[in-house]
Structure 1
Amino acid sequence: MSQYLPTGGFKWVSNQFIKTTQPLVQKILSLKENSNRGCCLEVKLSIPKELHLNSKQKEWTGKQYPDSENLILTFHNKDNYVIHYRNLQQCIKEGYILEKVYRILGFNQSLWIELYIAMNTQRYAKAKNAFEKDFWKLMNNSVFGKTMEDVRKRVNIDLVRQ
Structure 2
Amino acid sequence: MSEYLPFGGFKWIEDVTKFGITSKSTNPSEDYIDIMSIPNGAKEGYFFQVDLEYPRELHDKHRDFLFVAEHLIPPGSKLPKLLPTLFNKSKYIIHYRNLKQALSN
Query: TM-score, with normalisation over the residues of structure 1?
Result: 0.50
Change (3 A) 1:57 1:7: same
User: 1:3 offset after TM fit, Å?
Assistant: 1.5
Distance 1:85 1:76, change over 3 A: same
Structure 1: gaps of 5 or more residues: 95-162
- The match for 1:58 is 65
2-side partners of 1:64 and 1:55: how far apart? Answer: 19
Partner of 1:71, secondary structure, is strand
> Secondary structure of the equivalent of 1:7?
coil
Structure 2 stretches of 5 or more lacking a match?
Answer: 23-33
| Aligned-partner residue type, residue 16 of structure 2 | I
Does 2:6 match 1:6? yes
Give the 5 Å matches for 1:56-95. 58-66=65-73, 67-94=78-105
Aligned residues: 90
Max radius of gyration: which structure? 1
RMSD of Structure 2 on Structure 1 (CA): 2.1
Normalising by structure 2, report the TM-score.
0.74
Structure number with higher relative contact order (C-alpha < 8 Å, ≥ 6 residues apart)? 1
Counterpart amino acid of residue 42 in structure 1 = Q
The equivalent of 1:24 in structure 2 is 20
1:47 and 2:54 matched: yes
C-alpha contact (below 8 Å) 1:28/1:85 kept by paired residues: yes
Percent identical residues: 34
